[in-house]
Every structure is written in C-alpha cells, then in structure tokens.
Amino acid sequence: MLREVTATRYLTPLRSGGSVPGVFEADDLGTYVVKFTGSAQGRKALVAEVIVGELARALGLRFPELVLVHFDPAVAESEPHQEVRELHASSAGINLGMDYLPGARDLIPEVAQVFPVDPLEAGRIVWLDALTVNVDRTVHSSNLMVWPTLGVAPPRLWLIDHGAALLFHHRWDGTDPHKAYDFRHHALGGYGPDVRAADAELAPRVTEELLRAVTAEVPDAWLAEEPGFATPDEAREAYVRYLHARVRASGDWLPTDFPSAEELAEENARRAARTQRGRPDWLKRVPDLHGKPAAEQDWSVHLG
C-alpha cells in the first residue's frame, strides 16, 4: 500500500497547472508535490494519478513515489492568496503526494532537441498513455521530466502528472475499450516510438491480478461516492475490467502514425497563420511584452 506521511512545512504553490498543487516537507523528511482533493479536477484526478502512476512503476517505467499525505490547512496558513487558502481549507485530510525531483527539467522542445530517448523507451511510454487514455502528454505539454539522478549518467526521463488520464471514468457507460485516440502529437512522437515492440513486451504483463493490485492502492474515500457503484471495491473492479479489456484490444488502438519534427513544425505554422488571419489588425500589432518584435511572435502560444 502507499506509504502515509504528514505534511509539516509548506514551501510553495505550483501555479503551472490548473489544480495548483503545493510543495511540502513531511514528517519522514521527504519533500513532496501535493495534489489536493479539493481542487477543481476533483478526486477522479487523484484516482487517475494513483492507477496510472503505479501501473507505470509496475511496468518498469520511471515515476516518482506516491504517498498519501495527511494535511492540516494550518500548516499552510502563511499562503497569501485567498483562492489557494480556500483550496487548502477544502482539502483537510488525506491528499496525494508525489516525490519531489530537485533539479529536474521539463522535457520542453528545446531540451528534447538535445536529449536522446531510445525508441523502445518512447514506445513503452506511448503505449502506456494509449492504454490509459492519457491524451495530456503532448509536444506542447509533455508531463515528462529530465532528472540527473545522483550517480546516474546521463539524466533519465521521468513520467509525472496523470490526472487527465482514464477518460472513460468520467462516463462509465459510454466509452468503448476498443476506441483509438489521436496520439500524433505525443511528446515522444518525434523519437520514432516502437509501440509494436512495447505492446509485445508490456501487454502480457498487464494482468487482472496486476490491475487489482494497482487499484487497491486507491483510498476508499476517493471511490466511495463514485456514481453507479455500491462500494469502493465495485468501482475498483470496474477499472480492472475496463483496462483489462483494453489491453486485450490493443490491436485496435495501438498508435503508429507519428509525424516527423518537420511535419509538426509545418502544421504548427499553418495553425498559427490561420489564427493570425482571424484576428483584427489592432491585435496583430500588440507589442511583445517579452522583447520580441510582434511580427515574430507565435501568437498561438500566448492567445490560444
């Protein structure tokens, strides 16, 4: 089962994502990124974090340790922002912590250009994302970290943030486990991921027994109010049945079509041009606040 710790010191909020997790020290002397039950994404996001993260670890992929964090909002009373204090106040009790990776860097395009990823490793990660319907690991937001682990050279790739995975659990009665999703813009698509080799290696390992072990890590309280299920164990069994059915249907959803870096750049340029054409002249002339001439801006980044 996941270890339990108690948050003892508040370090900082992380505002890069909509859930506004916080960095805390705990009574085991560890430092953790804590995601809260009171966030806008709700407890389903934490369920997805546990199931996908623990499945990744069981399959040999690098993913930081998860812990259950006992959180008293009084620990973070120094937080100056009202909306973050309200988030903390609504999250008293058990929350989810992920081991903090000091010195890790996001796998942004600039880093990806100089960081090698083996096609089989890339294939394993893409395969896991396709299995768990994690469509939130893209070239624009990789949810991958490059971390120079002590004594290990070169730096290694670590997976983080799976709260947006398991799309099916938002609509239990309406998602076909055979369904294929668009992974052409996956963060590792440019590395030539060998998803067929990954499927041959990993699919036989995702057994019902493994899935039951993984889902057992989810606290009862996070499943107790799952619509359509009388008990947390019924909900766990639904996750097991769906994911096991999806594993057996991998021939239907296995992603194999990944555009090259040049094709992606051309597609992004076309998207930016379409976006620019749809804006009024006054908006095209808005000066760059970061010192870059307005004519050279990629407004698709700043204005969506």
Condensed to tens digits (0 to 9), the pLDDT of residues 62-120 reads 999 999 999 999 999 999 999 999 999 999 999 999 999 998 989 887 777 778 899 99
Domain span at residue 53 reads 3-99
Residue 67 and residue 10 share a domain: yes
Alpha-carbon gap, residue 54 to 48, rounded angstroms? 10
8 A C-beta contact, residue 144 and residue 128: no
CA contacts within 13 A on the Cβ side of 284? 11
Residue 212 and residue 179 share a domain: yes
Residue 198 and residue 118 share a domain: yes
**For 73, which DSSP code?**
G
Q: What b/e sequence results for 146-157 when a residue is b if at least 16 CB atoms lie within 10 Å of its CB, and e otherwise?
A: bbeeeeeeebeb
DSSP string computed for 154-170: S-EEEE---TT--GGGG
Q: Is residue 231 part of a domain?
A: yes
Give residue 233's pLDDT: 97
Sign of CA dihedral 177, 180, 184, 188: positive
Rounded (5°) CA angle 19-21-27 = 150
The identity of residue 295, as a single letter, is: A
Alpha-carbon gap, residue 113 to 146, rounded angstroms? 13
Please choose, from the candidates 181, 169, 135, 170, the residue with its C-alpha nearest in 3D space to the C-alpha of residue 241.
Answer: 169
Give residue 152's pLDDT: 60
Residue 214 and residue 144 share a domain: yes
Q: Is residue 258 part of a domain?
A: no
Alpha-carbon gap, residue 60 to 119, rounded angstroms? 16
Unique residue bearing structure tokens 């893209």: 138
Residue 91 and residue 122 share a domain: no
In 107-236, where do the E strands start and end? 144-147, 156-159
Residue 149 and residue 92 share a domain: no
Residue 111 and residue 49 share a domain: no
Unique residue bearing structure tokens 């805390």: 24
What is the mean pLDDT of the segment spanning 171-182? 90
Residue 144 and residue 207 share a domain: yes
Q: Is residue 290 part of a domain?
A: no
Q: Is residue 269 part of a domain?
A: no
**Per-chain mean pLDDT for the chain:** 87
Q: Is residue 265 part of a domain?
A: no
Q: Is residue 278 part of a domain?
A: no
The tokens of 97 are what? 């912590």
First-to-final CA distance of the chain = 41
**For 287, which DSSP code?**
P
On the question of pLDDT at 215 being above 90, the answer is yes
8 A C-beta contact, residue 143 and residue 161: yes
Please choose, from the candidates 121, 119, 140, the residue with its C-alpha nearest in 3D space to the C-alpha of residue 185.
Answer: 140
Residue 160 and residue 216 share a domain: yes
Tell which of 36, 65, 99 closes a domain: 99
Which secondary-structure segment (H or E) carries 290? none
Give residue 297's pLDDT: 31
Give residue 140's pLDDT: 82
Q: Is residue 149 part of a domain?
A: yes
* Domains contained in the chain, number: 2
Condensed to tens digits (0 to 9), the pLDDT of residues 143-167 reads 999 998 655 667 899 999 999 999 9
Give residue 301's pLDDT: 29
Tell which of 64, 80, 99 closes a domain: 99
> What pTM, to 2 d.p., does this model score?
0.85
Q: Is residue 296 part of a domain?
A: no
8 A C-beta contact, residue 96 and residue 69: yes
Tell which of 99, 130, 153 closes a domain: 99
Which secondary-structure segment (H or E) carries 31? strand 31-35
Residue 131 and residue 219 share a domain: yes
Alpha-carbon gap, residue 124 to 198, rounded angstroms? 5
Residue 195 and residue 70 share a domain: no
Residue 117 and residue 213 share a domain: yes
